[in-house]
């Protein structure tokens, strides 16, 4: 079983926490109950780097402590992992792998499958592409007072195709009974942090499109920087992200 059923927008979760707690917990609890009833003993959980809260040390590694996240969204991921940990400890032969995503962007190379959310996008890349396409009049950059090179927030962006390949590796690890513990955790990122302005400038260079953006105040729940070390996923899953930011952006635009 692969569990993707969660709401995922930081800002929206701050505005409507009960909606996030209800959906993200009920979907997991119902899934685990059904798995127990029908004897499905493996689960891959779609988690998030937000479980690390505001990390004191970067890049994030296995040594980083999970903290109280700064948003209800992140907290649902942290608590869901605790639920899975308790469940795997209580059930014989039940195993879970939690994949902690950093910032997925990009699209399938065909251009036939991409990120087109309903309503106003909550994530950076679909807002950028919709602004460039004339669907959105203006792109808002939230915060230019971070202690970074260009004063905008830094994130570790990962191509969705690389992310999909990591799930295949996780499936193979569970099916082959190679996990060391009944509950395992892996960070999925490239190991490189890019600022918001890095993404904007790279988009303009790759596509030739000009973006109309403005600077606004920070959003509740946003952090200065999040990027990961990749050694654990490389060693244990046999997985490493292959695609660079240029390709992530080009496939998103296509």
Query: Which residues are annotated as catalytic?
Result: 73
> Are β-strands 157-159 and 103-105 bridged in parallel, bridged antiparallel, or unpaired?
parallel
3-state secondary structure of 70: coil
Question: H or E stretch including 162?
Answer: helix 160-175
H/E run at residue 213: strand 213-216
101: phi then psi, degrees, rounded to nearest 5: -70, 145
Q: Cis peptide leading into 106, omega within 30 of 0?
A: no
Query: For residues 187 and 100, is the Cβ–Cβ distance under 8 A?
Result: yes
Distance CA 229, CA 221 (A): 23
**Bridge pairing between strands 183-188 and 95-101:** parallel
Compute the distance between CA of residue 162 and CA of residue 189 in angstroms, rounded to an integer: 9
CA dihedral 203, 205, 209, 212 (to 10 degrees): 60
């Amino acid at each position: 079983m692969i569990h993707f059923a969660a709401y995922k927008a930081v800002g929206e979760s701050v505005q409507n926490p009960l909606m996030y707690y209800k959906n993200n917990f009920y979907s997991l609890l119902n899934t685990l109950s059904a798995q127990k009833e029908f004897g499905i003993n493996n689960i891959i959980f779609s988690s998030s780097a937000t479980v690390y809260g505001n990390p004191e040390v970067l890049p994030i590694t296995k040594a980083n402590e999970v903290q109280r996240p700064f948003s209800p969204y992140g907290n649902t991921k942290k608590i869901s992992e605790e639920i899975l940990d308790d469940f795997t400890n209580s059930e014989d032969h039940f195993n879970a792998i939690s994949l902690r995503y950093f910032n997925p962007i990009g699209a399938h190379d065909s251009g036939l499958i991409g990120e087109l959310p309903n309503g106003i996008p909550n994530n950076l890349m679909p807002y950028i592409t919709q602004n460039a396409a004339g669907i959105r009049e203006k792109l808002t950059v939230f915060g230019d007072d971070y202690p970074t090179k260009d004063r905008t927030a830094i994130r570790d962006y990962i191509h969705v195709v690389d992310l999909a390949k990591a799930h295949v590796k996780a499936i193979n690890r569970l099916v082959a009974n190679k996990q060391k513990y009944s509950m395992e955790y892996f960070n999925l990122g490239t190991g490189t942090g890019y600022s918001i302005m890095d993404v904007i400038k790279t988009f303009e260079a790759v596509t030739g499109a000009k973006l109309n953006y403005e600077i606004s105040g920070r959003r509740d729940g946003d952090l200065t920087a999040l990027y990961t070390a990749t050694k654990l996923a490389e060693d244990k899953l046999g997985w490493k992200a292959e695609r660079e930011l240029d390709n992530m952006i080009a496939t998103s635009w296509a």
